[in-house]
């Protein structure tokens, strides 16, 4: 909870920078308008338009924040390091950007005079104010870390290389630091730590085991410092820790700001789709009611992120009671018999029944067009699902997962996914899991956008 609180505080930092820069521009405008630059000497002051100067100040504020995002000034999770260099580069690039806008915008975008005094003195004052503000904020964050429960675990491999590296980095972190050897790691809950740093050369299975234990953690970050081999099924992000290169192990390229953008995309896109498909969903509900009465929706418990169950929602496409020709059997009871018969064309974890007798007439159309999936937009709005990520499975299916396939549970399930675009129901579970695991390791906002567009093509083709 405290770590999430720290992330929220860092998330508001760009907004605070925006506000401070705009306030500084306003103060500079008032000073330039009513004060002589040289005591006793009245200078001719050109016409200074308030609206244009403040508009320029807002542009300058957004320029600083955008450049800061590109230059990693607003890290959400990582420890703060080399802050002065990053801040100074951001400030300099911002000066170059707004100077370019000021020079080429005169008479074209800005028809009145944009004061050079406001630009130059405002830039100097903003550097001082923002830097002092961030130093106070950074000091308070570091103090909160030292006094809180955020801890770092450094795991050594009992090699000379390990001892030298630990001696060099142990005082670098502003958190409480604890130490352990690889022989002691099995008795420690490493997910309680904010950062785990593995230093030295480890057996591959030992290193893999350490990373697997933090893979599903929302708060624990994993670093490896070594000149020896590294893991192969992870994404690396190099980090300079006191002139030592540490590789941060991630199970995905999607991290930090990208995750926030993905959540915003899920929220607004699903809300938009619910609005534009609302009339269609009403028509589907009426068709289901006429064809096979109640209920309209099919609800079941599916396994979501970290193995937690959630309520999965679809338009009902099957009979709830097979009374004609099936001895009054419930549909779920009949399903257990069908998956053990020749009708099951895809064995093991994910059965598939050919010409399933439980599917209604309307249900066949809904399945062919994937319209039965529309209610899952409400699951996205409840944050239990995402637009793009691997499809959720039933508890009885998940219990048959192999160890590596359990990595599918490291992220939230989705309405569509990589495997749905490349194969859909034609894949067996092993092939589907491979595609989904590839997506997890290589996911990005661009890949998500591609999958969403490709999904429309799959649906229109009726695959």
Verify that 287 and 396 share a domain, yes or no: yes
Pick from 147, 176, 201: which residue ends a domain? 147
Verify that 126 and 173 share a domain, yes or no: no
User: Does any domain span residue 11?
Assistant: yes
Verify that 34 and 119 share a domain, yes or no: yes
Q: What is the pLDDT of residue 245?
A: 77
Retrieve residue 81's tokens.
């390091």
Verify that 183 and 118 share a domain, yes or no: no
Verify that 312 and 453 share a domain, yes or no: yes
Verify that 65 and 208 share a domain, yes or no: no
pLDDT by residue, tens only, the chain of 463 residues: 455 555 666 778 888 888 998 898 888 887 776 655 555 555 555 567 777 778 888 888 898 888 888 877 877 655 555 778 888 888 888 888 888 877 776 656 666 667 777 788 888 888 999 889 888 887 777 666 555 556 788 887 766 566 666 666 665 665 677 788 777 777 788 877 878 888 877 777 788 878 877 776 766 788 888 766 667 667 777 777 666 777 877 766 666 667 778 888 888 999 999 999 999 999 999 998 888 877 889 888 899 887 889 999 999 888 765 544 343 345 566 666 666 665 554 555 566 666 667 788 888 888 888 888 999 999 999 888 999 888 888 888 888 887 778 778 878 889 988 888 886 666 777 788 888 888 887 788 888 888 888 888 777 766 5
Retrieve residue 328's tokens.
């009054």
Verify that 108 and 21 share a domain, yes or no: yes
Instruction: Give the 3-state secondary structure percentages of the chain, helix then strand then coil, rounded to 5.
Output: 55, 15, 30
Residue 234: give the domain boundaries.
151-250
Q: What is the pLDDT of residue 271?
A: 92
Verify that 37 and 123 share a domain, yes or no: yes
Q: Is 139 helix (H, G, I), strand (E, B) or coil?
A: helix
Q: What is the pLDDT of residue 430?
A: 79
Verify that 36 and 128 share a domain, yes or no: yes
Q: What does the CA dihedral 125, 126, 128, 129 come to, rounded to 10 degrees?
A: 110
User: Does any domain span residue 354?
Assistant: no
Q: What is the pLDDT of residue 283?
A: 94
Is there a contact between 182 and 206 (Cβ–Cβ < 8 Å)?
Answer: yes
Q: What is the pLDDT of residue 329?
A: 46
Q: What is the pLDDT of residue 381?
A: 92
Retrieve residue 440's tokens.
């997890």
Verify that 194 and 291 share a domain, yes or no: no
Number of domains forming the structure of the chain = 3
Is there a contact between 20 and 126 (Cβ–Cβ < 8 Å)?
Answer: yes
Residue 199 CA to residue 211 CA, distance in Å, equals 13
User: Does any domain span residue 143?
Assistant: yes
Residue 32 CA to residue 204 CA, distance in Å, equals 65
Pick from 250, 272, 287: which residue ends a domain? 250
Q: What is the pLDDT of residue 8?
A: 64
User: Does any domain span residue 345?
Assistant: no
Verify that 429 and 300 share a domain, yes or no: yes
Verify that 107 and 161 share a domain, yes or no: no
Pick from 197, 216, 250: which residue ends a domain? 250
User: Does any domain span residue 12?
Assistant: yes
Q: What is the pLDDT of residue 45?
A: 56
Residue 21 CA to residue 14 CA, distance in Å, equals 11
Q: What is the pLDDT of residue 1?
A: 47
User: Does any domain span residue 271?
Assistant: yes
Q: What is the pLDDT of residue 380?
A: 93
- CATH number for the domain harbouring residue 227: 3.40.50.10490
């Amino acid at each position: 909870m405290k770590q999430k609180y720290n992330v929220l505080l860092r998330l508001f930092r760009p907004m605070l920078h925006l506000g401070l820069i705009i306030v500084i521009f306003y103060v500079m405008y008032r000073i330039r308008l009513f004060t002589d630059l040289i005591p006793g000497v009245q200078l001719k002051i050109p016409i200074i338009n308030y609206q244009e100067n403040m508009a320029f100040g807002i542009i300058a504020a957004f320029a600083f924040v955008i450049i800061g995002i590109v230059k990693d000034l607003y890290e959400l999770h990582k420890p703060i390091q080399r802050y002065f260099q990053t801040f100074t580069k951001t400030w300099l690039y911002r000066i170059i950007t707004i100077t370019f806008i000021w020079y080429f915008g005169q008479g074209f975008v800005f028809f009145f005079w944009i004061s050079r005094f406001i630009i130059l003195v405002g830039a100097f004052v903003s550097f001082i104010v923002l830097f002092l503000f961030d130093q106070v904020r950074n000091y308070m964050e570091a103090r909160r870390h030292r006094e809180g429960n955020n801890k770092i675990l450094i795991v050594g491999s009992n090699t000379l290389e390990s001892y030298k590296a630990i001696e060099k980095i142990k005082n670098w972190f502003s958190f409480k630091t604890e130490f352990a050897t690889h022989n002691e790691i099995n008795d420690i809950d490493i997910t309680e730590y904010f950062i785990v740093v593995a230093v030295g050369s480890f057996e591959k299975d030992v290193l893999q085991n350490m990373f697997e234990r933090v893979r599903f953690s929302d708060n624990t970050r994993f670093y490896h410092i070594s000149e020896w081999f590294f893991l192969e099924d992870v994404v690396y992000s190099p980090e300079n820790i006191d002139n030592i290169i540490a590789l941060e192990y991630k199970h995905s390229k999607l991290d930090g700001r990208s995750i926030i953008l993905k959540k915003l995309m899920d929220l607004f896109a699903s809300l938009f789709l619910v609005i534009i498909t609302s009339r269609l969903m009403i028509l589907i509900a009426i068709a289901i009611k006429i064809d096979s009465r109640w209920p309209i929706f099919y609800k079941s418990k599916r396994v979501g992120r970290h193995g937690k169950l959630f309520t999965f929602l679809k338009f009902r496409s099957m009979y709830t009671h097979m009374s004609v020709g099936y001895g009054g059997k419930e549909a779920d009871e009949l399903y257990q018999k069908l998956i053990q018969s020749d009708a099951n064309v895809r064995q093991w974890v994910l059965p598939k029944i050919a010409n399933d007798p439980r599917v209604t007439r309307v249900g066949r159309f809904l399945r062919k067009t994937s319209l039965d999936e529309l209610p899952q937009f409400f699951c996205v709005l409840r944050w239990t699902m995402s637009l793009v990520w691997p499809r959720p499975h039933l508890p009885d299916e998940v219990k048959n997962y192999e160890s590596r396939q359990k990595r599918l549970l490291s992220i939230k399930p989705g309405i569509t996914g990589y495997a749905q675009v490349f194969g859909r129901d034609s894949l067996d579970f092993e092939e589907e899991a491979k595609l989904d695991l590839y997506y997890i390791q290589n996911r990005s906002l661009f890949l998500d956008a591609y999958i969403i567009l490709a999904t429309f093509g799959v649906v229109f083709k009726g695959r």
